[in-house]
C-alpha cells in the first residue's frame, strides 16, 4: 500500500508506528452507531426485510426451544403414571412431539442464518472496501511513516471484529437474553419464586465473575496482540528485504530478531492461557453450584410429592438450556470486547482525514496546452527544515525540462508537489494556470505520467502490469507500448509471453526489465505531462540509448520534466535547471551551461572524471 512512485521523503515527519490504532478501547455505543447503518441501510428495503425476518425466525426458534422441555416432562409423566395427560397424547406421541420441537428449533435457527447471511456479508464487504479506499486516499506522508503490515492487520482485525459482532452479539447475546427471560417466566409459573431466585443468583454471580476476570484478561490480550503485530511486522519487513538479507549474510540475525519478537508473544500468550484456565474453572464452579441447588430443590419436591418425576426432568432440561449458552458467554464477552478494540482501531483510522484532500466542488483539471509552472514555491517536510525556498520556474507546452543537482537539492520534491503527494506551504504549483490544489486529485493524476526511479510491479502478469497504465487499452495498444519500451523481443522469448507472472514487487524480473515495464505503462497511459524520475537509471548503456529514443519520441508534443543524476541523459533537453539547496542556481541548454563554466560545468566535469 505504500506508494512506490518516489522513495521515502528525506526528513519526513516521524509519526508513531502504531498511530493507526487508538490508545483506548472505543465505546460500544459509538461502535454500534457506526455498524448500524450497514445492517439497516436506508436505501435497501430488501435488506431491512431480511433483518426483520431473521429476527422473527430467531424469536420463533427460542419460543419453540423453551416449549420443548414441556413435551419431555409430559412423556416422562405418562410413562411414570403421574401428572395430567398433555394434549391428549400418549408417551409415544409426546416423544415424537418432543423430537419435532427440537427439529423445529434447529430449523428456525438455520432459516435465520440463511435469511441474514447476505446482509451480513454485504456489510462486511462495504466496510472492507471503505477502509481499503480510505487507506489509499491517505497522503504519502501517512504511508511512509507507518508499517504496511500494521495497517493491513488493523483492517483485517477490524473487519473480523464486525463479522464476530454480527454473528454472536446479534444472534447469540440477543437470543440468550430472550431465552433466559422465557425460562424464568416458566419457572415462576410452573414452580415457585425460589427457583427463579436460585437461577438469578447463579446468573448474577456468573456474569459478575466473568466480566471482572475478562476485563483483567483484556489487558493481557492487548499485550499479546501488540507482540503478535510486532512479530508479524518483523517477518514481513525481513521477507520484503530478502535480497538485502542475503547480501549481508544476515539470515541468522533476522531469525534471532524474529525469535525475540516471538518470545515476547509467547510470554504474553502463556499469561493469557493461564488466566483463561482460571476463568473456565471459576465459571464451571458457579454453574455447577447453581445446577446442584436447583436440582436439590426439585428432588425435595418429588420426595414430598409436590412435584412429579417429569417436573424434575423438566427442571434439569431448563437448567441445561441455561447452562449451555452460559458456557460460551465468557469467551463471547471476551471476544466482543476484543472486537470493540479492533473495530475501534479501524474506525479510528477511518476518522483520520487525508492530509491532502480535494476542495468541496473542485473541478476536474483541463490541460489544453500542458504548461507547468512553479511560482515562488516554499515547502519542507518539517517546518524546521525547509527544502524549497521560493522556487520559480516554468515548463512551456511541449518543452523538455531537466532538473539536475546534488542529492538533497529538492529535485524529487518537485515531482511530489507536481503530483500533489504534498501541498506547498507557500506559493503555488499550476498547470495551464490552474492551481493543482483547486482541482480534483483524480483528474490531476490522470494528466501526469510518472516513470519512477524504482518501478515496483504487482504480483500479476506482464500484461496486467503494462495495461495498468490504461486498463481499457486494446491488446494491440499494449503490445505497441511494450515495443516502444524495448520489451517486445524480451516478452516474445518468454514461454508464457504476456501471461508471465512477475512475482511479488516484480522480483522475477531484472531491474532493467522492471524499469521498461514502468516506461511501457506510462507510454500506454499517453498523458500530456510526463515526469521521469531517473527513469533509465537501472538500464545498461545500450538499452538506455534505445529507450532514450523511445522516451524522446514519447515526449513529442508533451511537457516533460525529467529528474536526472547522470547528466549524460539530459544533454538533449530543451532546458536544464540546476538546483542547489532548493533554488535554481543556473538554467539553459547543455552547451550554454558548459560554456558558462558554472555549477553545471563543475558537475559535468566531476562525472566525466568518475567515468574515466
The pLDDT of residue 476: 92
The per-residue DSSP string of 296-365 comes to HHHHHHHHTTSS-HHHHHHHHHHHHHHHHHHHHHHHHHHHHHHHHHHHHHHHHHHHSPPSS-PPTTPPPP
Q: What's the burial of 373, exposed, middle or buried (CB within 10 Å: 0-12/13-18/19+)? A: middle
**pTM of this prediction?**
0.60
Alpha-carbon span 51 to 559, nearest angstrom? 56
Beta strands in 99-211 (DSSP E): none
Chain centroid to Cα 323, Å, comes to 38
In this prediction, residues 231-244 reach a mean pLDDT of 83
Decide the pairing of beta strands 426-431 and 529-533: unpaired
Q: Residue 472 and residue 116: Cα distance in Å, rounded?
A: 37
Measured over the CA atoms of residue 24, residue 25, residue 31 and residue 32, the dihedral's sign is: negative
15: confidence class by pLDDT, cuts 50, 70, 90: very low
Residue range 361-447+527-612 in CATH 3.40.50.300: yes
Q: Give CA angle at 257 (256, 258), nearest 5°.
A: 90
Q: What is the pLDDT of residues 63-105, one digit of tens each?
A: 888 888 888 788 887 887 776 666 667 778 888 888 898 899 8
Instruction: Output the pLDDT for position 550.
Output: 67
d(Cα 404, Cα 606) in Å, to the nearest integer? 14
Residue 113 neighbours by CB under 8 Å, 6+ apart: 54, 171
- Checking DSSP bridges between strand 559-563 and strand 400-404, what pairing results, if any? parallel
Among 239-248, 339-348, 376-385, 415-424, the range scoring the smallest mean pLDDT is 339-348
Summarised one tens digit per residue, pLDDT across range 481-519 is 898 888 888 899 989 999 998 887 777 888 778 888 888
Over residues 428-457, mean pLDDT: 89
pLDDT at residue 143, as a whole number: 56
Cα(313)–Cα(163) distance, rounded to whole angstroms?
38
- 282 CB burial (10 A radius; 0-12, 13-18, 19+): middle
In the CATH hierarchy, which fold is given to the domain comprising 28-351? ABC transporter transmembrane region fold (1.20.1560)
Q: Percentage of residues in the chain with pLDDT exceeding 90?
A: 15
pLDDT in tens, 256-266: 888 888 888 88
**Whether the predicted pLDDT of 139 surpasses 70:** no
State phi, psi for 20 to the nearest 5 degrees. Answer: -75, -15
Q: What is the pLDDT of residues 531-583, one digit of tens each?
A: 988 777 656 677 677 667 767 767 777 899 998 888 888 888 899 999 988 88
Highest mean pLDDT among 11-25, 84-98, 461-475: 461-475
Which are the contacts of 552, defined by CB distance < 8 A and separation ≥ 6?
572
pLDDT for 181-190, tens place per residue? 888 888 888 8
pLDDT of residue 4: 37
Task: Give the pLDDT mean for 412-429.
Answer: 90
Domain ranges of the chain: 28-351, 361-447+527-612, 458-524
- For the chain, the average pLDDT equals 80
Q: Which residue, among 271, 293, 282, has the nearest Cα to 330 in the 3D structure? A: 282
Domains 28-351 and 361-447+527-612 share a fold: no
Amino acid at each position: 500500500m505504500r506508494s512506490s512512485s518516489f522513495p521515502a521523503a528525506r526528513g519526513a515527519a516521524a509519526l508513531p508506528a502504531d498511530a493507526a490504532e487508538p490508545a483506548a478501547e472505543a465505546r460500544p455505543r459509538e461502535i454500534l452507531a457506526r455498524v448500524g447503518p450497514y445492517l439497516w441501510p436506508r436505501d435497501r428495503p430488501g435488506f431491512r426485510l431480511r433483518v426483520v425476518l431473521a429476527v422473527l425466525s430467531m424469536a420463533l426458534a427460542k419460543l419453540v426451544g423453551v416449549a420443548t422441555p414441556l413435551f419431555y416432562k409430559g412423556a416422562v409423566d405418562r410413562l411414570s403414571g403421574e401428572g395430567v395427560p398433555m394434549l391428549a397424547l400418549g408417551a409415544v406421541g409426546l416423544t415424537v412431539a418432543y423430537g419435532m420441537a427440537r427439529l423445529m428449533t434447529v430449523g428456525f435457527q438455520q432459516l435465520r442464518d440463511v435469511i441474514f447471511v447476505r446482509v451480513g456479508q454485504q456489510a462486511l464487504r462495504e466496510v472492507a472496501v471503505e477502509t481499503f479506499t480510505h487507506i489509499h486516499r491517505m497522503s504519502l506522508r501517512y504511508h511512509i511513516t507507518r508499517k504496511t503490515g500494521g495497517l493491513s492487520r488493523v483492517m483485517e482485525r477490524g473487519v473480523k471484529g464486525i463479522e464476530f459482532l454480527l454473528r454472536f452479539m446479534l444472534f447469540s447475546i440477543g437470543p440468550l437474553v430472550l431465552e433466559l427471560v422465557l425460562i424464568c417466566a416458566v419457572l415462576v409459573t410452573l414452580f415457585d419464586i425460589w427457583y427463579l431466585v436460585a437461577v438469578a443468583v447463579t446468573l448474577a454471580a456468573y456474569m459478575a465473575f466473568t466480566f471482572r476476570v475478562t476485563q483483567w484478561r483484556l489487558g493481557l490480550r492487548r499485550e499479546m496482540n501488540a507482540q503478535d503485530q510486532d512479530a508479524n511486522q518483523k517477518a514481513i519487513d525481513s521477507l520484503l528485504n530478502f535480497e538485502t538479507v542475503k547480501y549481508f549474510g544476515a539470515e541468522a540475525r533476522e531469525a534471532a530478531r524474529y525469535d525475540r519478537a516471538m518470545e515476547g508473544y509467547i510470554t504474553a500468550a502463556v499469561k493469557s492461557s493461564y488466566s483463561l484456565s482460571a476463568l473456565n474453572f471459576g465459571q464451571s464452579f458457579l454453574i455447577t453450584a447453581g445446577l446442584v441447588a436447583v436440582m436439590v430443590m426439585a428432588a425435595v419436591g418429588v420426595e414430598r410429592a409436590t412435584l412429579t418425576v417429569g417436573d424434575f426432568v423438566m427442571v434439569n432440561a431448563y437448567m441445561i438450556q441455561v447452562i449451555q449458552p452460559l458456557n460460551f458467554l465468557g469467551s463471547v464477552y471476551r471476544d466482543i470486547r476484543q472486537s470493540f478494540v479492533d473495530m475501534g482501531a479501524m474506525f479510528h483510522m477511518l476518522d483520520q482525514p487525508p492530509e491532502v484532500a480535494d476542495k468541496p466542488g473542485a473541478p476536474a483539471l483541463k490541460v489544453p496546452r500542458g504548461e507547468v509552472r512553479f511560482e515562488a514555491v516554499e515547502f519542507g517536510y518539517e517546518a524546521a527544515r525547509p527544502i524549497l525556498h521560493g522556487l520559480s520556474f516554468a515548463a512551456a507546452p511541449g518543452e523538455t525540462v531537466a532538473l539536475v543537482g546534488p542529492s538533497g537539492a529538492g529535485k524529487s520534491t518537485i515531482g511530489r508537489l507536481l503530483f500533489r503527494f504534498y501541498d506547498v506551504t507557500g506559493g503555488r504549483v499550476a498547470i495551464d494556470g490552474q492551481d493543482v490544489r483547486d482541482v480534483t486529485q483524480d483528474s490531476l493524476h490522470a494528466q501526469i505520467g510518472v516513470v519512477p526511479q524504482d518501478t515496483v510491479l504487482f504480483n500479476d502478469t506482464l500484461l496486467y502490469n503494462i495495461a495498468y497504465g490504461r486498463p481499457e487499452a486494446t491488446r494491440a495498444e499494449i503490445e505497441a507500448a511494450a515495443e516502444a519500451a524495448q520489451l517486445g523481443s524480451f516478452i516474445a522469448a518468454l514461454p508464457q509471453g504476456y501471461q508471465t507472472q512477475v512475482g511479488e514487487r516484480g522480483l522475477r524480473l531484472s531491474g532493467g526489465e522492471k524499469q521498461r515495464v514502468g516506461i511501457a505503462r506510462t507510454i500506454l497511459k499517453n498523458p500530456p505531462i510526463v515526469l521521469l524520475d531517473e527513469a533509465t537509471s537501472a538500464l545498461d548503456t545500450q538499452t538506455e540509448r534505445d529507450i532514450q529514443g523511445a522516451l524522446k519520441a514519447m515526449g513529442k508534443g508533451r511537457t516533460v520534466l525529467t529528474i536526472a543524476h547522470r547528466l549524460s541523459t539530459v544533454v538533449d533537453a530543451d532546458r536544464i535547471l540546476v538546483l542547489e539547496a532548493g533554488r535554481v542556481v543556473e538554467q539553459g541548454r547543455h552547451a550554454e551551461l558548459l560554456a558558462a563554466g558554472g555549477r553545471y560545468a563543475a558537475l559535468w566535469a566531476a562525472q566525466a572524471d568518475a567515468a574515466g
